[in-house]
């Protein structure tokens, strides 16, 4: 009989000890282990082309256009279906991406290093609003923006980080939670803290004044600028808790738009998978739930790390774009204490008397209480090429926690309540 | 018998219609009406040199050193006492300044224009932390920083504003209240929103890359950068409500470190004055209430305009530096609804279900309920030249509201409850 209680405590302590810092920006092909020529990474658990949802297919088409592997949509789709392109989850390469989460070799990525252990994690650069690859759009302006990010913004960020040395993302998240962010759907404050850190150095390293203006306007005008490095930080913290024998703590929750998958600390590389749920939320003018794709993206790594919907009590203003009332934000956080291992030692919520956020989902507790984790999320159109149509709330399927709990029991792990 | 109820409604509507925008940065002597050679402006109601507190004297000594009117402290103090220098409240010149609030002709000021009517209001540029003039420090590094602000930062801000046209301060305050600011002691989010707006243009207009770096680092590193333009915006909104016959709404609350003064909409230019109270709060290491100067500064214009302590429910994290508990922040805002005319139409608090902040103090209601306005404040050392020693909470003396209510009754105004 394994001591799950001790294992969970160990995993939780490792998560708390993790101190992710942003250290570099570089092309994914140069820094993400194993991301070579014919491989494209995507959000969520593994999935084959013919099972992929519209937005994920759209983003892969866009990536193939960006990489110059195809010139037009049909050609890209044919190539993607041909078997000549391999697909793998970002999580298999210590990376995370919001929504479709597609990452191909030429795309610039943030490189996050955990100062406790040196582990590297990765995320793409956020593209801002409107037609964007992460929501499955691949129109020429989408590709052109990605090219500009690779060509201009990424080298500038890289040079700025070289001067700064590092950006402490754990401290940034902690501060943003005191400024009305929850770190998943609302990253307004965090993005401004990020800009505040980068702006002076960017002004110095970007030689061309107009280009400096463009980069600062793009970073500052995007309230999700920091989402991607925050996700890479959350990946670092949850990865630190992974691989503790007997631990029932969830270290990955991710969706590919078709399936929802989790990984559990004591259960190695195995995914527990079930069909994604449909988010409930607020839709942009002209769209409804009929247009929506099921839940998609690696951004649930935020909830897995104790922020996002778990820290929603820090962000009462968020209901303006995900629906609900300020009371809901308080209830969300309070409910999550029932299914988590502990209270975060670094992330806390002023309105709850600076109580630490509910952190580290225990699969046994989810099954035992019947309370599913809460997730804040963006909503993508179900067809390739359209983009975001809303934002809202969702929960994972219960089956993945039941199967994980069963697998833990089979291994001799036991819930101590 | 004047209709106070109608008069207060009119004054309140004018306050709501006011839409202050930051339009310019220029030397005070060029733009503040009547601020010529021998005049120095200060916070609070009128006061003579021999009645001034330590920090106000210190700031005036600093201003005389900055203006080149004296070379050393003693010479400056002698000149200040000689009668050759005139003193007047900032408020007599539509200006406001935090703490000592000293403004002399060469200092750069923010110029705020009310798009409803074109009225101009003014405030100094915030100096950041450490030894600063507004807390009564006048050491060589204080003067050198002011010179750098005049020489480098102010022209850069001026050029940036010329490109931007304007910055909508009412919208900025509204957004900052959704990001954990209350707009008086906590301006973290507002200062970053301000930086976000200015940074791209500053990167463009500042030719020297190192100087661009210094200016952006100074603005971004100062969580009070936006306090001064916010105060000028609050002055604009309260000024719009001033001068309505029969109105018992308070349009100025200000302290000079010796006296607390208010002005009331229906009572013209008359000040109602009583000795300042001592703030209760958190002191920096090595200091206590024994070292503190009584309440000082024009920054209570924020509470007068419905933010600051009145919006404290928006800023639970503020208790970390002003003392108290998150519950106190909620109680503060809720209590202020009892003495105010209405709920702000543009500033609201997510945690209170987006309820408008309690706005426009009614002198009759203060006297009737016995509830004094709440004020968040910085605390200055009582001696000239030291600086800030803490931050905390204070209330005005009741006498000023009683005298104002009496004056209103003498004029035939009546409280309709």
pTM, two decimals, is: 0.96
pLDDT value for A417 = 53
Q: Is the pLDDT of residue B409 over 90?
A: yes
pLDDT value for A1 = 62
Q: Is the pLDDT of residue A138 over 60?
A: yes
Structure tokens, B162: 């010329």
pLDDT in tens, A36-54: 889 999 999 999 999 999 9
In CATH, what number does A243-410 get? 3.90.1700.10
Selected for mutation to probe chain B from A175, A199, A214 (highest B CB count within 10 Å) is A199
pLDDT value for B105 = 98
Q: Is the pLDDT of residue B1 over 70?
A: no
Contacts of A196 in chain B (CB under 8 A): 192, 195, 220-221
Give φ, ψ of B129 to 5 degrees: -105, 180
For B221, nearest residue in chain A (alpha carbons): A196
| A350: contact with B, CB 8 A cutoff | yes
**Class for the domain spanning B242-410:** alpha beta
| B285: contact with A, CB 8 A cutoff | no
pLDDT value for B37 = 83
CB count within 10 Å of CB A280 equals 16
| A72: contact with B, CB 8 A cutoff | no
Q: Is the pLDDT of residue B90 over 80?
A: yes
Q: Is the pLDDT of residue B385 over 90?
A: no
State how far the Cα of B206 lies from the Cα of B215, in Å rounded to an integer. Answer: 9
Q: What is the mean pLDDT of residues B110-132?
A: 95
pLDDT band at B375 (very low <50, low <70, confident <90, very high): very high
**Min Cα separation B314/chain A (Å):** 9
The answer to whether the CB atoms of B354 and A209 lie below 8 A apart is no
**Min Cα separation A190/chain B (Å):** 10
| B196: contact with A, CB 8 A cutoff | yes
| A163: contact with B, CB 8 A cutoff | no
Q: How far is CA B340 from CA A46, B376, B406, in A?
A: 59, 17, 18
State how far the Cα of B328 lies from the Cα of B374, in Å rounded to an integer. Answer: 11
The answer to whether the CB atoms of B203 and A202 lie below 8 A apart is yes
Contacts of B320 in chain A (CB under 8 A): 350
Domain map of chain A by residue range?
Answer: 21-231, 243-410
**Min Cα separation B5/chain A (Å):** 33
Q: Which residues, at least 6 apart from A170, have a Cβ–Cβ distance to it below 8 Å?
A: A18, A19, A20, A21, A233, A237, A346
pLDDT band at B416 (very low <50, low <70, confident <90, very high): low
pLDDT in tens, B2-59: 789 999 999 999 999 999 999 999 999 999 999 988 999 999 999 999 999 999 999 9
Contacts of B353 in chain A (CB under 8 A): 325-326
Tell me if A309 sits within 8 A of A373, measured CB to CB: yes
Of A205, A217, A352, Cβ closest to residue B200: A217
pLDDT in tens, B273-308: 999 999 988 899 999 999 999 999 999 999 999 999
Contacts of A325 in chain B (CB under 8 A): 353
> Would you give the distance in Å from CA A194 to the centre of its chain?
17
Q: Is the pLDDT of residue A64 over 80?
A: yes
The answer to whether the CB atoms of B326 and A195 lie below 8 A apart is no
State how far the Cα of B114 lies from the Cα of B236, in Å rounded to an integer. Answer: 6
Q: Which fold has domain A21-231?
A: Enterococcus faecalis V583 fold (3.90.1710)
- Maximum C-alpha span of chain A: 65
pLDDT value for A384 = 81
Q: What angle do CA A287, A290, A293 make, to 5 degrees?
A: 90
pLDDT value for B322 = 81
Q: Which residues, at least 6 apart from B255, have a Cβ–Cβ distance to it below 8 Å?
A: B43, B44, B261, B276, B294, B295, B296, B297, B298, B300
Contacts of B333 in chain A (CB under 8 A): none
The answer to whether the CB atoms of B350 and A326 lie below 8 A apart is yes
Q: Which of A153, A28, A184 is nearest to A93 (CA)?
A: A28
The answer to whether the CB atoms of A203 and B201 lie below 8 A apart is no
pLDDT value for B3 = 87
Q: Mean pLDDT in chain B?
A: 95
Q: Which of B108, B126, B128 is nearest to B24 (CA)?
A: B108
Of A192, A210, A317, Cβ closest to residue B196: A192
| B217: contact with A, CB 8 A cutoff | yes
Q: What is the mean pLDDT of residues A56-75?
A: 97
The answer to whether the CB atoms of B353 and A325 lie below 8 A apart is yes
Complex ipTM value: 0.94
Of B178, B196, B204, Cβ closest to residue A212: B204
pLDDT value for B235 = 98
State how far the Cα of A407 lies from the Cα of A7, in Å rounded to an integer. Answer: 16
Which residue's structure tokens are 């990424």? A154
Q: Mean pLDDT in chain A?
A: 95
**A positions 220-279 inside 8 Å of B (CB):** 220-221
The answer to whether the CB atoms of B199 and A204 lie below 8 A apart is no
| B326: contact with A, CB 8 A cutoff | yes
| A128: contact with B, CB 8 A cutoff | no
Question: Could you name the CATH architecture of B19-231?
Answer: Alpha-Beta Complex (3.90)
pLDDT in tens, A93-121: 999 999 999 999 999 999 999 999 899 99
H helices of B115-168, in order, are 140-148, 154-164
- Crossing angle for the helix pair B209-221 and B154-164, nearest 10 degrees? 90
Contacts of A220 in chain B (CB under 8 A): 195-197, 199-200
Q: What is the mean pLDDT of residues B371-394?
A: 90
The answer to whether the CB atoms of B203 and A212 lie below 8 A apart is yes
Q: What is the mean pLDDT of residues A279-301?
A: 92
Q: Which residues, at least 6 apart from A381, have a Cβ–Cβ distance to it below 8 Å?
A: A54, A55, A135, A136, A287, A291, A292, A293, A387, A388, A389
Q: Is the pLDDT of residue A412 over 90?
A: no
The answer to whether the CB atoms of A352 and B217 lie below 8 A apart is no
Q: Is the pLDDT of residue B417 over 90?
A: no
| B213: contact with A, CB 8 A cutoff | yes
pLDDT in tens, A226-259: 999 999 999 999 999 999 999 999 999 999 999 9
Give φ, ψ of A89 to 5 degrees: -65, 145
Contacts of B214 in chain A (CB under 8 A): 200
């Amino acid at each position: 009989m394994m001591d799950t209680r001790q294992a969970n405590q160990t995993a939780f302590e490792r998560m708390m000890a993790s101190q992710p810092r942003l250290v570099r920006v570089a092309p994914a092909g140069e820094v993400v282990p194993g991301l070579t020529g014919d491989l494209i990474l995507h959000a969520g658990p593994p999935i084959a082309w013919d099972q992929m949802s519209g937005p994920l297919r759209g983003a892969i088409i866009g990536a193939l256009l960006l990489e110059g592997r195809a010139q037009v949509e049909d050609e890209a789709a044919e190539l993607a279906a041909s078997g000549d392109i391999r697909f793998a989850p970002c999580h298999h390469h210590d990376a995370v991406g919001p929504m479709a989460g597609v990452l191909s070799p030429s795309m610039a990525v943030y490189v996050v290093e955990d100062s406790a252990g040196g582990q590297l994690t990765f995320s793409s650069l956020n593209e801002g609003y409107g037609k964007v690859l992460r929501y499955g759009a691949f129109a020429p302006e989408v590709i052109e923006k990605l090219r500009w990010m690779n060509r201009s913004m990424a080298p500038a960020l890289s040079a700025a980080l070289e001067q700064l040395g590092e950006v402490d993302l754990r401290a940034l998240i902690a501060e943003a939670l005191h400024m009305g962010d929850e770190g998943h759907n609302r990253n307004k404050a965090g993005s401004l803290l990020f800009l505040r850190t980068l702006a002076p150095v960017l002004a110095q390293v970007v030689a061309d004044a107009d280009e400096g203006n463009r980069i600062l306007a793009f970073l500052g005008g995007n309230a999700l600028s920091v989402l991607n490095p925050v996700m890479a930080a959350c990946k670092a913290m949850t990865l630190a808790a992974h691989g503790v024998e007997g631990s029932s703590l969830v270290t990955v929750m991710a969706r590919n738009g078709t399936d929802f998958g989790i990984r559990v600390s004591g259960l190695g590389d195995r995914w527990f998978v079930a069909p994604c749920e449909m988010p409930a939320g607020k839709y942009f003018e002209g769209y409804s739930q009929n247009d929506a794709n099921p839940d998609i993206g690696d951004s649930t790594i935020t909830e897995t790390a104790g922020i996002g919907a778990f820290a929603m009590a820090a962000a009462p203003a968020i209901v303006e774009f995900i629906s609900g009332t300020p009371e809901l934000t308080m209830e969300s956080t309070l409910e999550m204490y029932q299914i988590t291992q502990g209270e975060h030692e670094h992330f806390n919520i002023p309105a709850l008397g600076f109580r630490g956020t509910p952190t580290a989902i225990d699969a046994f507790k989810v099954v035992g209480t019947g309370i599913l984790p809460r997730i804040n999320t963006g909503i993508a159109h179900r067809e390739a090429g359209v983009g975001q149509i809303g934002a809202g709330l969702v929960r994972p399927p219960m089956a993945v926690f039941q199967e994980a709990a069963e697998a833990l029991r089979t291994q001799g792990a036991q819930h101590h309540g």
